[in-house]
Amino acid sequence: MLESTFSSARSWSPTLALGLVAALAASPVAHAVGGDDADEAVVDQFHPDKGDGKAPLYGGRAIVHVPSLPENMCYPIENSAVTRRFLYETHETLLLQDWWSHEYVPDAAASWVEEDLVVLKPDAPAIEGEIAAQVVRRGEGETGLREVRAVYGSITDAGANWTISPMSKGSSIAGPVQVPKGAVERVERGTVFTVSLREGVRWQPSLVYSTEQAAKFGEQFLDSDDVYYSWSIYRNPEVNCDEKRFQFEKISACEVVDELTVRFFYEKQYAYALESIGTSLTLLPSHIYNLLDVQCPDHDAGASLSKQAEHLNKNPHNKLWVGLGPYQVTEWTQQYVEAKRFVDADGKPAYFDAATRPGYFDTIRWRYIDNDEAAMNALLNGEVDFFERVKSEDYFNGRATSESFSEDFYKGFFYLGAYGYTGWNLYRPQVKDIAVRKAIAMAFDFQTYLATQYNGLARQITGPVPYQSEGYPRDMPALPYDPDGALDLLEEAGWYDRDGNGIADKDGVELEIEFLYPSGNDASKLFGIALQSAVEDLGIKINLASLEWATFLERIKSREFDACNLAWVPPLESDPEQLWHSKWGARDKKSSNNSGVMDPKVDAMIEGIQAEIDRETRMGLWREFHRYIYQDIQPYMFMYNVPRKFGASLKVRGIRHSAIDPGYVIRDWYFVDPSVKGTRSSLEK
């Protein structure tokens, strides 16, 4: 079988999506054919661009394996890559990052206009069309919001003046305005976004409310109130969205222009502004979640922020999701999540873009199996149609190479920007000392482990920037494999065995470290065992602890761990604030800064990246940031960028691979065998 990859690692756009998954060490796979710099995609034999003469059929049910089951579908409060993957098929965002071109295109939005903001000096004379824009206070000791005088539009240099021309619907200025440069405090480029929504974008019906309750709001369509509410939740400190809040704090104001037009203001230039409102803003139905909405069956005009937050945090619709996509979640059990085609009362597709992106299957079931061996058996037994965590021994020399396998299945592999890591809790005294963290990395033989566990074809990584990104410093070497040097490093820092029990200690703290990993993740376990052996001679004791995913994740979020084995699934560029900024590293923050990194230099570097809108310059800042994180902080034991190996039923066609997580689009898949139950030649039954 030919092996799958995606083309050109050079063509991409940034996005803010970031999700947490069980460590990718759990899916060791070979390097894609063609090498790191291959621009030409190698495709599997059923790639739609090759064609095999069989027309796609509509209908049927596809079963896709997932290694963990998130708490719910409400992405603002559930920072799970699996949640995001569910939403790709069941929901829409204002914009879509096209899977293949990687350009941003309209989705639930029909169009958008980007404008600049001219901030006036407080004592400037009155300017026609000026607004009082709210901005977040950033000064030392300041909190809350303040207002500034500003004008927005298209800005051109007219000598002594700035000429500001209106571009967007409902602009505060009716025509070009001349603003003396002496009256201007600063110019912020690309900070005002006016979004026009599509007409007829229908919300799926509630499967939670009774018929009588649902009758209160009837059929609902996406409007500006929904968008405004979706943004406003991040201003409520009681909503459990700290892992996402940072993206939307930078939006200083949101204005409802009319029923289908909404305007966002950013306080200053932000490299990821379009992506944050376009693809990271999870659209929520106001009539379901907003207690202040008179159409909400649970309407409470006097609801406190705390009560509003509780209504969102614990809403039953977080599982039985009310979305905008072609599929609606109809069932959520401990074993699977199932979504069926969204249809109207007459059984016709009700998805607003059914003419171009309807999805072929009638039903998608995500089957939860937390044990990779059991999941592989489920594939071979026909219980799942797609499994992307095939072990190396099966893929290269075992069950996936047999003649019986090729009769019913095919296999392939692909790269994403994901990387596995072992995260250190910098609040724990055992690993607070960077000498300990560096010594552990130096004691582990990465190259031998790569050769034995990954057929030598995964990539060791040296920091948080995805390997495929231009922001990754390829010229920076990893820490050397040097057990003797690691021991010297520890002893110089005062870590050695004082009481003769075989464990190094300092200031009454012994180097005994609990290593958490998700249950069923065999490769995480194997890595943990290898790490135990590697550091034993240093006087470091590693205790392995396997936990069910939900418990594991709660321990990580609460920083109740010493070390954890996980993976991030970032795009090729995303805002680093959520992972590394001090404001999210405090003990009381349940953020993505799980390690508790608190470094002023890191904060300054992040803010520089955020403000730099020139891409080439920003890539240079990323390379500096990557080096500093790896060389001067070492908050993670950075591990490998591992390709995904998959096995798929021969009945499923149309699989191709994108650089965007999860690397495929289920709604593009289809059956070609008419014997598959429920299949037909047309979309409508």
The H or E element spanning position 160 is none
Range of the domain at 664: 19-91+325-415+644-680
Angle, nearest 10°, between helix axes 522-535 and 372-380? 150
Measured from the Cβ of residue 395, the count of other Cβ atoms closer than 10 Å reads: 24
Q: What's residue 50's pLDDT?
A: 55
Q: What's residue 37's pLDDT?
A: 35
Tell whether 586 and 482 lie within a shared domain: yes
Asked if the structure places residue 535 within a domain, the reply is: yes
Residues of the chain with pLDDT under 70: 1-53, 133-146
What distance in Å separates the CA atoms of residue 370 and residue 476, rounded to the nearest whole number? 36
What's the number of domains the chain is made of? 2
What distance in Å separates the CA atoms of residue 25 and residue 30, rounded to the nearest whole number? 12
Asked if the structure places residue 1 within a domain, the reply is: no
Q: How far is CA 180 from CA 157, 161, 174, in A?
A: 10, 4, 18
Tell whether 524 and 618 lie within a shared domain: yes
3-state DSSP assignment of residue 247:
helix
Q: What's residue 326's pLDDT?
A: 98
Q: What's residue 685's pLDDT?
A: 84
Asked if the structure places residue 119 within a domain, the reply is: no
Tell whether 405 and 425 lie within a shared domain: no
Tell whether 615 and 675 lie within a shared domain: no
Q: What's residue 573's pLDDT?
A: 86
Tell whether 469 and 598 lie within a shared domain: yes
Q: What's residue 468's pLDDT?
A: 83
Tell whether 530 and 432 lie within a shared domain: yes
Tell whether 404 and 472 lie within a shared domain: no
Residue in 670, 635, 622 with CA at minimum distance from that of residue 650 = 670
What is the DSSP track for 17-71?
--EEEE-GGGS--PPPTT-TT--SPP--TT-TTT--S---BEE-EEEEEES---S
Residue in 469, 643, 454, 641 with CA at minimum distance from that of residue 4 = 643
Domain with residue 654: its CATH number is 3.40.190.10
Domain with residue 546: its CATH number is 3.10.105.10
Asked if the structure places residue 574 within a domain, the reply is: yes
The H or E element spanning position 365 is strand 363-368
Asked if the structure places residue 402 within a domain, the reply is: yes
Q: How far is CA 374 from CA 164, 367, 377, 411, 522, in A?
A: 63, 12, 5, 18, 11
3-state DSSP assignment of residue 321:
coil
DSSP 580: H
Q: What's residue 41's pLDDT?
A: 36
The H or E element spanning position 340 is strand 336-341
Q: What's residue 241's pLDDT?
A: 92
Asked if the structure places residue 120 within a domain, the reply is: no
Residue in 681, 566, 682 with CA at minimum distance from that of residue 25 = 566
Q: What's residue 40's pLDDT?
A: 34
Asked if the structure places residue 230 within a domain, the reply is: no
Asked if the structure places residue 4 within a domain, the reply is: no
Tell whether 635 and 653 lie within a shared domain: no
What is the DSSP track for 179-209?
EEGGGEEEEEEEEEEEEEEPTT-BPPPPSSS
Q: How far is CA 183 from CA 92, 128, 188, in A?
A: 42, 13, 15
Tell whether 345 and 403 lie within a shared domain: yes
Tell whether 497 and 626 lie within a shared domain: yes
Tell whether 528 and 620 lie within a shared domain: yes
Q: What's residue 270's pLDDT?
A: 94
Q: What's residue 243's pLDDT?
A: 85
CA dihedral 180, 182, 185, 186 (to 10 degrees): 60
Tell whether 602 and 668 lie within a shared domain: no
